Every structure is written in structure tokens, then in C-alpha cells.
């Protein structure tokens, strides 16, 4: 399952701001003709100014609305590097048929590899495609091919990342049982590719969040990285059972959207400290609250208590 990747969006026509505050306009991006990887970004200062070029190393950020540089204008080059120059006039073709013009390309920050392509269809709504669908790159035309076995189109409706995130959160919040878990869910979106990260109370809710998200218009690909509290408790319990300091102890594990409460009694201070260390080492635990008591004569777990501190009500009790 793909992890979330830091990206740089090169959208033609947006503002570009240097480290000294000078503002220009993004005019083009130069890419490797064989791989499509980004090489340089063209920026024009002033209506009639010359286009200058900055390497990707100088892109402090690059979003749908603005590019910011960590270098002054004087550090930019007047001569473009070799490669294919893509602009807003570059046509995009799908299986040989022109479908619109290039609006922007999103690249992986570290590798500069192209990830997503967004197409302006004029009077039609914009669409996005995976860069895996790229089969040809030249200055006049980007060529896309349908992915996989051809049953699913390479194109999906495009919504700005902030809009798509909000649409997904609203879809989750509308479902009554998710109004508590939504506080633990983080939604990331890049041109229709969505990552769900954070915590939910159960595996059922993990699947439910995924189903609700997939139903939102504009979601092209979804990666569910949510951690269920039930899975987190089982993982920590297994780790405690493997450590000699805690294997024989009776430790209650109570996660609440990633905040792990340890309750009960242990026989040594070492066991208490080890329990905290083991729970905190679990990558799914965002916080560990150790409420274990040291009692040398402890043999069994005390009365089960929820994360509120109140004892559970046992039927017939």
C-alpha cells in the first residue's frame, strides 16, 4: 500500500515568489523526455520579462495556487536546461484522441517522478490521470493510454485537494456512528489520490470510513492506513507477552483513538517502566498514559475500567 508522498505541483499561470518577495508567473516545466521526471521550472517576472529557470532544489513549496522559492531571483538561470518544455499549450491525448490541454503536473518531491496529470478540457470539467498512464512525452502532446485491462478509464473528475478533503470529511461526519471517530481521522489528497491516516475505534469503522470515502466524487485511488484501536490493543498485548519483564503481568490495554491507557497492577517498578516503553514503541500509539500501580502481591488484573476511569458495568452485577 502506497505511503503518502511529499509532492510539488507545477500549475501554469500561478504566482511564484522568490525568497526576497519578488513575484513572477509560472510559465512552463522542463522534463526528461524518457521518464517525464522534472528538471526545471520556468518563471517570468513582469508582463514582458524574460523567462528564467529554477531547479527543483529551490522549490520550498509548490501548490495549486503558488510556488515559493528558497532562492532570490538572481540565482535563477536565463538559459533553459535541455529537456522537453511543457506549457499550458501542450495538448493531452488519450489513446490517440485529443481531450484537452495540460493544466498542471504533480511530481514526487524527492524523486521528481511525475505522479498525476491534470487536464483542462475548456468548457468541460477538468479531469486527472495517473502519470502511470503516460506513454509519450513531447512539447506539443502528452499521450495517455488507458490503464490495466481497459475496463476502467484513465481519467477521473478533478477537484482541488482542499475541496476533496472537505467532501470526504463531510461524507464521514454524515454517518452518525462516525461522529466520534472522525476526530482521529486525517485525510490527505493529491489530485484525486487519497490517504486515510490516523485512528478509529474498530476494524468495522476502519472499513466503513474507506467505503464512505470511496463514494465521494473525484476519488481516483484510496489508501487506507487507519489503525483500529482493537488492532492496536492486540499488537501491544502481543509485545508485552514477549518481554520477560511483562510476560507474567496482568496489564489492561485500553486504546482510545490511538491514546493508549495502561491499567491494572504489576509486581515491580521495572515491569511498569517496561510496559510504557513497549507501548510507546508501537508505531500506532500516538500517546501512552501509564496508570499501572506497583503491587508486589498482585496476581490478577483488577476490575476492568474504561478510559473514563469508571468501572465497567457487568450484567447481573
> In this predicted structure, what is the pLDDT of residue 176?
85
Distance of CA 59 to the CA centre of its chain: 20
Residue 313 pLDDT level (bands cut at 50, 70, 90): very low
The DSSP annotation for 217-233 comes to: TT--EEEE--EEHHHHH
Q: Which long-range contacts does 301-308 make (Cβ < 8 Å, 24+ apart)?
A: 301/250, 301/251, 301/252, 301/264, 301/265, 302/263, 302/264, 302/265, 304/252, 305/252, 305/254, 305/263, 306/254, 307/254, 307/256, 307/259, 307/261
Are the beta carbons of 4 and 106 closer than 8 angstroms? no
pLDDT over 60 (residue 278): yes
Residue 17 CB neighbours (<10 A): 16
The rounded distance, in Å, linking the Cα atoms of 117 and 13 is 16
What pLDDT digit, counting tens, does each position of 224-269 carry? Answer: 999 999 999 999 999 999 999 999 898 999 999 999 999 999 999 9
> In this predicted structure, what is the pLDDT of residue 153?
57
User: Dihedral angle at the C-alpha atoms of 144, 147, 153, 154, nearest 10 degrees?
Assistant: -40
Region 152-169 average pLDDT: 89
% of the chain residues with pLDDT over 70: 91
% of the chain residues with pLDDT over 90: 78
Residue 147 pLDDT level (bands cut at 50, 70, 90): low
The rounded distance, in Å, linking the Cα atoms of 37 and 59 is 15
The domains found in the chain, sorted by start residue, are 7-157 (2.30.30.240), 161-225 (3.30.70), 229-294 (3.30.1340.30)
What pLDDT digit, counting tens, does each position of 287-301 carry? Answer: 999 999 999 887 644
> In this predicted structure, what is the pLDDT of residue 46?
86
Nearest to 43 by CA among 65, 15, 82: 15
DSSP label at 132? Answer: G
What pLDDT digit, counting tens, does each position of 53-109 carry? Answer: 999 999 999 999 999 999 999 999 989 899 999 999 999 999 889 999 999 999 999
pLDDT over 60 (residue 220): yes
> In this predicted structure, what is the pLDDT of residue 297?
83
Bigger pLDDT: 46 vs 12: 12
Residue 2 pLDDT level (bands cut at 50, 70, 90): low
Region 13-42 average pLDDT: 95
pLDDT over 80 (residue 154): no
Amino acid at each position: 500500500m502506497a505511503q503518502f508522498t511529499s509532492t510539488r505541483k507545477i500549475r501554469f499561470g500561478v504566482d511564484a515568489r522568490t525568497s526576497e518577495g519578488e513575484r513572477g508567473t509560472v510559465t512552463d516545466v522542463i522534463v526528461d523526455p524518457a521518464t517525464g521526471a522534472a528538471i526545471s521550472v520556468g518563471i517570468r517576472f513582469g508582463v514582458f520579462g524574460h523567462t528564467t529557470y529554477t531547479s527543483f532544489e529551490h522549490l520550498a513549496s509548490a501548490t495549486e495556487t503558488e510556488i515559493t522559492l528558497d532562492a532570490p531571483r538572481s540565482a535563477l538561470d536565463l538559459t533553459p536546461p535541455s529537456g522537453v518544455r511543457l506549457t499550458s499549450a501542450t495538448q493531452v491525448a488519450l489513446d490517440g484522441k485529443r481531450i484537452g490541454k495540460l493544466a498542471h503536473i504533480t511530481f514526487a518531491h524527492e524523486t521528481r517522478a511525475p505522479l498525476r496529470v491534470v487536464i483542462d478540457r475548456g468548457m468541460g470539467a477538468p479531469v486527472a490521470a495517473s502519470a502511470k498512464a503516460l506513454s509519450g512525452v513531447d512539447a506539443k502532446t502528452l499521450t495517455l493510454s488507458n490503464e490495466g485491462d481497459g475496463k476502467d478509464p484513465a481519467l477521473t473528475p478533478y477537484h482541488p485537494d482542499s475541496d476533496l478533503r472537505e467532501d470526504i470529511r463531510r461524507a464521514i461526519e454524515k454517518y452518525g456512528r462516525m461522529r466520534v471517530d472522525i476526530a482521529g481521522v486525517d485525510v490527505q489528497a493529491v489530485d484525486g489520490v487519497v490517504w486515510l491516516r490516523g485512528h478509529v475505534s474498530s476494524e468495522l469503522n476502519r472499513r466503513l470510513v474507506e467505503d464512505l470515502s470511496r463514494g465521494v466524487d473525484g476519488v481516483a485511488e484510496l489508501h487506507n492506513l487507519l489503525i483500529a484501536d482493537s488492532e492496536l490493543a492486540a499488537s501491544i498485548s502481543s509485545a508485552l507477552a514477549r518481554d520477560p519483564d511483562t510476560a507474567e503481568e496482568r496489564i489492561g490495554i485500553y486504546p482510545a483513538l490511538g491514546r493508549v491507557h495502561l491499567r491494572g497492577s504489576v509486581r515491580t517498578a521495572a515491569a511498569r517502566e517496561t510496559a510504557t516503553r513497549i507501548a510507546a514503541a508501537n508505531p500506532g500509539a500516538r500517546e501512552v498514559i501509564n496508570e499501572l500501580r506497583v503491587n508486589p502481591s498482585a496476581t490478577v488484573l483488577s476490575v476492568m475500567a474504561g478510559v473514563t476511569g469508571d468501572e465497567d458495568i457487568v450484567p447481573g452485577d
